[in-house]
């Protein structure tokens, strides 16, 4: 009897734990993957517009402050969109390393948050040289994660 109660408790805790770690049941794995890809597509497009501003020697850089801040905010929640069960589907390019080296993945995401915040500051300063340096550093942080955690 006691064994049964214990087993029931362990089971209940296990279920609650799994529900917490996984995405809401209302979203399918395909939807979660589509969400993270759409967000990254926006990040990519935003990044391209910043590169264009640098290439054309724009002196109107303050406009990128909210964009860089949004990238930082997004990257703060991006790892939440990789719950167990979303390793495959929707042509994901996510590599298995995300789930085997979660700490490394989270660290790369935090690193990008920090670099994007610096990019926002550089944009606010409207200093082209500072903005270009911050942009490069942010790009390196994108590349570091893609190198280890995204398929080519
Ligand atoms: C913490 C890791 C990480 C960081 C940092 C990161 N990415 Fe990604 N990115 C990924 C992963 C993983 C995918 C693949 C997602 C999938 O297919 O499920 C991806 C996908 C993309 C895509 C393809 C989106 C699509 O249409 O499917 C673009 C574009 C992109 N990232 C741009 C960027 C840029 C630009 C940065 C830096 C500003 C960046 N990423 C930073 C992990 C990261």
Measured distance CA(37)–CA(40) in Å, rounded:
5
- Name the closest-CA residue to atom 3, ligand 1: 145
Pocket test for ligand 1, best of 34, 40, 102, 137 (most atoms within 8 A of CB): 40
Taking the chain, what is the end-to-end CA distance rounded to the nearest angstrom? Answer: 54
Q: Which atom of ligand 1 is nearest to the CA of 109?
A: 1
Q: What is the mean pLDDT of the chain?
A: 90
- Name the closest-CA residue to atom 22, ligand 1: 40
pLDDT in tens, 106-129: 999 999 999 999 999 999 999 999
Residues with CB under 6 A from ligand 1: 33, 36-37, 40-41, 43-44, 47, 71, 75, 92-94, 105, 108-109, 112, 138, 141-142, 145-146, 149-150
Q: Which atom of ligand 1 is nearest to the CA of 78?
A: 1
Q: How far is CA 77 from CA 106, 112, 114, in A?
A: 10, 12, 13
For residue 21, pLDDT over 80 is answered with no
Measured distance CA(101)–CA(107) in Å, rounded:
10
For residue 135, pLDDT over 50 is answered with yes
- Say what the pLDDT of residue 54 is: 98
- Work out the average pLDDT over 52-71: 98
pLDDT in tens, 80-112: 999 999 999 999 999 999 999 999 999 999 999
- Work out the average pLDDT over 130-146: 98
| Contact (Cβ atoms closer than 8 angstroms) between residue 101 and residue 144 | no
Pocket test for ligand 1, best of 98, 112, 150, 152 (most atoms within 8 A of CB): 150
Query: Beta-carbon neighbour count of residue 74 at 10 Å?
Result: 19
For residue 3, pLDDT over 60 is answered with no
Residue (of 132, 127, 121) closest to 54 by Cα position: 132
For residue 5, pLDDT over 60 is answered with no
- Say what the pLDDT of residue 2 is: 52
List the structure tokens of 26.
Answer: 């209302």
Measured distance CA(118)–CA(89) in Å, rounded:
34
- Say what the pLDDT of residue 25 is: 65
pLDDT in tens, 44-59: 999 999 999 999 999 9
């Amino acid at each position: 009897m006691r064994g049964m109660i214990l087993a029931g408790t362990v089971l209940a805790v296990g279920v609650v734990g799994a529900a917490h770690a996984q995405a809401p049941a209302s979203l399918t794995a395909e939807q979660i993957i589509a969400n993270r890809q759409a967000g990254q597509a926006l990040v990519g497009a935003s990044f391209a517009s910043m590169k264009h501003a640098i290439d054309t020697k724009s002196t109107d850089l303050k406009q990128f402050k909210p964009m860089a801040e949004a990238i930082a905010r997004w990257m703060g929640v991006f790892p939440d969109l990789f719950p167990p069960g979303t390793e495959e589907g929707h042509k994901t390019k996510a590599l298995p390393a995300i789930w085997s080296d979660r700490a490394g993945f989270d660290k790369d995401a935090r690193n990008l948050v920090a670099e994007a915040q610096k990019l926002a500051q550089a944009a606010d300063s409207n200093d082209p040289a500072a903005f270009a340096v911050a942009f490069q550093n942010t790009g390196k942080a994108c590349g570091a994660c893609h190198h280890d955690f995204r398929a080519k």
